[in-house]
A = this chain, B = another copy of it.
C-alpha cells in the first residue's frame, strides 16, 4: 500500500471531509480490509485534538454467513446498542467517517433475496434521526477492497484490480492535485454556483426525458439546491463534506408529485445484490411498478419496508464535468455511481435543502434511502416552471442555465 497516498487521503478526509474539531468524538466505520487507512485516520484525528476515535470494523463475510445460516425469524433483529451508539454520536455532536463499501457488490449473490432483505445492517434506523438533526459532521469516502476492485476490473487479478481502482480513486478524489483541499473548494464552489442559478429559476418540477425515461419530479415550494451545494453545516456550525468525492447538486422533492416512467442508466447495488435494467413507474409520487432484469425482488422488498420507501426523498443533478462520469466506468458503488450521473433516491429525505419550515412536514420519511442513476448524455433535463413552461437545464451533460 502506498503510505504517502494513504497519508494524503487521511488528511483530506479528516481535515476537510469531516473537519474534525478539538475535543470532538470521531466515529470511523469501515470494512476490516480498510485497516491501513483507518489507522491513518485515527492518528490524524487525534493529532487534531479528537477526544476519542471509535473504530467499528464491519465484516461483510459475517453478514453473508448470517443470511446463509441464521434462523429465519432472527434476521430482522438489531442489537439495541448499535442504535444507541448512533444516537449518542448525535448527542455528542460527533464526527463520523464512513469508508464505503461496507458490503462489496455481489457479496450476497446466490442467497435468498427475501432473507437478504431482512438483514439491513450495518444501517440502523437511528441514522436518519441523526441526519435530520444535523448533529453529526459526517463524510463518506471510498476504500478499494479486493472484492470490490475485482468486480470493477474483472479482467485483472485481485492485486492488479486493487491498484487500478486506487488509480481511479486518486483521480476522482483529486488526490492527484497539488493541493486536494483547494481543488475541492473550487469544485464545490462551481457546484454551488450552478445550484444557485437553478434556484433562481424557481422551478415547480424537473423533467427527465431519454431512452425509456419520461419522468417529472415535482418540487416543494421551498426546495432549494444551493443550501447544500457540495458541503453541509451541522447544527453547531461545523462545515463538512458529506461525500468525497462529490459532484452532485441535489434537493428534496415533493413525495406526492412524481409521475411517469424512468429507466436506470447504471446497475444498482442494493446491500450486496446487483439490480440491473431497473424500470420504475410512478403514479402520484408512488413507485407502483418496479421491474428489473436481475434481483428485482431485493429492491421490491426494500420498497415495502414502510409507507415512505416507495416515494422519492432526493433528486440530484450531475453535470458532464464530473471526474467520475468522465471515466465512463460503472463502479457498482452508490457513492461513486451517484456522483457520475443525475439520480433520484427512494426513501428518507434530507430536511436541510428545505428553506421554509412550513414545508418540512411534507418531506418523505422512511427507514431506507436507495439512490439510483437515471442520467446520461442521452437524457435531457428540463425545468418546469409554475406556469407550466419548460426551460432546458442539462443537455448532453452541459448546463443550459
Contact = CB atoms under 8 A, between A and B. Distances in A.
Contacts of A46: 65-66, 68-71
Interface stretch (A80-88, A103-111, A355-363, A377-385): A80-88
Contacts of A62: 38-39, 42, 53, 55
Given A42-B65, A62-B42, A66-B42, A32 B57 contact: yes
B88 A71 contact: no
Interface in A39-84: 39, 42-43, 46-47, 49-55, 57, 59, 61-62, 65-66, 68-71, 74, 77, 79-81, 84
Interface residues of A, number: 36
Contacts of A49: 71
B52 A77 contact: yes
A91 to B, nearest CB: 9
A307 interface: no
B66 A23 contact: no
Contacts of A274: none
Q: Interface residues of A: mostly helix, strand, loop or mixed?
A: helix
B65 A51 contact: no
A288 interface: no
B88 A70 contact: no
A401 interface: no
Contact of A51 (B50, B69, B74): B74
A32 B58 CA distance: 10
Nearest to A49: B71
A39 B57 CA distance: 14
Given A79-B88, A81-B81, A74 B52 contact: yes
Nearest to A66: B46
A23 B55 contact: no
A25 interface: yes
Contacts of A35: 32, 59, 61
A81 B77 contact: no
The 7 A-B residue pairs with the shortest CB-CB distance, nearest first, are: A46-B69, A81-B85, A57-B57, A51-B74, A46-B70, A42-B62, A43-B65
Given A22-B71, A49-B71, 4 more contacts: A25-B79, A38-B62, A46-B70, A50-B70
19 contacts: A22-B71, A32-B32, A38-B59, A39-B61, A39-B65, A42-B65, A43-B65, A46-B66, A49-B71, A50-B70, A50-B74, A52-B66, A52-B70, A53-B66, A55-B59, A55-B62, A57-B57, A79-B85, A84-B84
Interface of A: 22-23, 25, 32, 35, 38-39, 42-43, 46-47, 49-55, 57, 59, 61-62, 65-66, 68-71, 74, 77, 79-81, 84-85, 88
